[in-house]
Structure 1
């Protein structure tokens, strides 16, 4: 760790930088998805497994984020939203960040392996794809978002695998749901932060522009997300089921997100992109809550 005149080496600042290097808020949202998937797949609730899943999921995502910030430290320094991150701002050495990343990787794999080896395998695949494939591709091709959507879709599925120690139609559906959802979500972010991403050379939009082509693809993937979200109500996704009432609620949530996708198509403004981004976060959070509540009532 380093200290600066503007950022003295205090416990508060160390904790703040630790939260930033591991992206604590994002990591906790991933943990939430994993636990939701576990609750959907579990025959009976095992508190030890939930605790291991929480720690394992947080460690794996935190490690991915730390590796990402090490690799992109020079590009982060060019963008307003990332230039104050610990490494580009000079508050944390690369060696410190790397130690955190490696430690989190090892602890994450161990925690998930204790649950079952299959869960650890998917966690390791997630960290590999995010760090070694998605991160390098971000400055080369918009296809990076497709690659990044794979590790991003694993957490919801991971929880089910932790509960059942098997992969099938149920975790596959959870994976597909979060996979398709990520396109409107991240393209909305890419649109909102277009100018900043451009400074870093990141190609986050499918057409590389804030145009109708990008907006149309956002609408298309939003529709796919909605379709997958209601599939469990038709009895074709194995043990993953959804009541008619829950399906109607989920459909309504999806239509709200679709409304904002059309608003982005019509207005093509950063404000519309922000509204879509916020609605997408609300959608996936409430959907997972509805899925879990519907199972237990």
Structure 2
């Protein structure tokens, strides 16, 4: 039997779904949602399914919208780089209008869903879209300080979960924010080191010194140390309701030492392989410590 003219074929649906995942950067969005959910578990007195669902779906919408806006803005630059030239817009599989429609719909849906949790959560979610799209994205071709600007929206998710659970912003979500804030620097500079040649094709300035040199490597080490310190601050009992037991703090510190070791190796070798290992260790670190925080809360 021949397919009906004009009917949507299964492969078209697959391509459209694949492009949707790519325009919203699904893997990144899921990792962000994981951070927000971890923050929710830390802040909640009791775990309720509906707020958790609103946070997860609303959070995905906000991250997906930010990534869609980003790819609309950078579509011409994406076409110049090997790793991004096959994205939906530069490849021609998706129009700018389609991408903007996705971004706007997800923005509205995300704000509404997070507002149903509480206004503060919606406010921080909206702020993350604004900072990512209107500050971080345009700065990427102007100054390496774009990474500093991008660290703000990047650090919101862990904090957002706490605010979603408590409708309160204080020292606890502030501490969660600072953990993920300092983590951003070694993570993205390692990524920037790996992809420096490709970033240069697009005109992006991602490394703090503009070069893959000892200066960049030293700053990676410095921010890794700050990250390690702030990650164990709750063990000293100075962060309100956010607690950390001594065994949990030791585990987190050891995980930080592993990441620091990879940062030191990058300083020593200054090669792409070392940068990749540091980047992967940073992803493992942030996921692991969030799990440790949550498990420690329910075991302590």
1:49-88 to 2 correspondence within 5 Å? Answer: 49-88=51-90
Whether 2:201 is the aligned partner of 1:208: answer no
Q: Is 1:254 paired with 2:256?
A: yes
- Distance (Å, rounded) in 2 between the aligned partners of 1:248 and 1:133: 37
2:45 to 43, 46, 65: 43
Paired position in structure 2 for 1:169: 171
Deviations 1:56-115 (A, max 9, x none): 100000000000000000000000000000000000000000000000000000000000
Give, in whole Å, the separation in 2 of the partners of 1:11 and 1:158.
Answer: 33
1:232 counterpart = 2:244: no
- CA distance in 1 between counterparts of 2:169 and 2:227 reads 21
Question: 5+ residue gaps in structure 1?
Answer: 1-7
1:287 Cα shift?
A: 0.4
CA positional deviation for 1:46: 1.2
CA distance in 2, matches of 1:264, 1:177: 22
Map of 1:19 onto structure 2: 21
User: How far, CA to CA, are the matches of 2:82 and 2:181 in structure 1?
Assistant: 28
The secondary structure found in structure 2 opposite 1:209 is: coil
Runs of 4+ off more than 2 Å: none
Take 1:246 and 1:133, find their aligned partners in 2: how far apart are those partners? 36
Distance in 2, Cα, partners of 1:273 & 1:203: 17
In the alignment, does 2:170 pair up with 1:159? Answer: no
Partner of 2:6: none
1:4 corresponding residue in structure 2: none
- Shift in Å at residue 9 of structure 1? 6.5
The secondary structure found in structure 2 opposite 1:150 is helix
Q: CA RMSD in A?
A: 0.8
Q: Which residue pairs with 2:297 in the alignment? A: 295
Count of residue pairs the alignment pairs up: 290
Cα distance in 2 for partners of 1:119, 1:82 equals 32
Does residue 195 of structure 1 match 2:197? yes
Scaled by the length of structure 2, the TM-score of the pair is: 0.96
SS of aligned partner of 1:10: helix
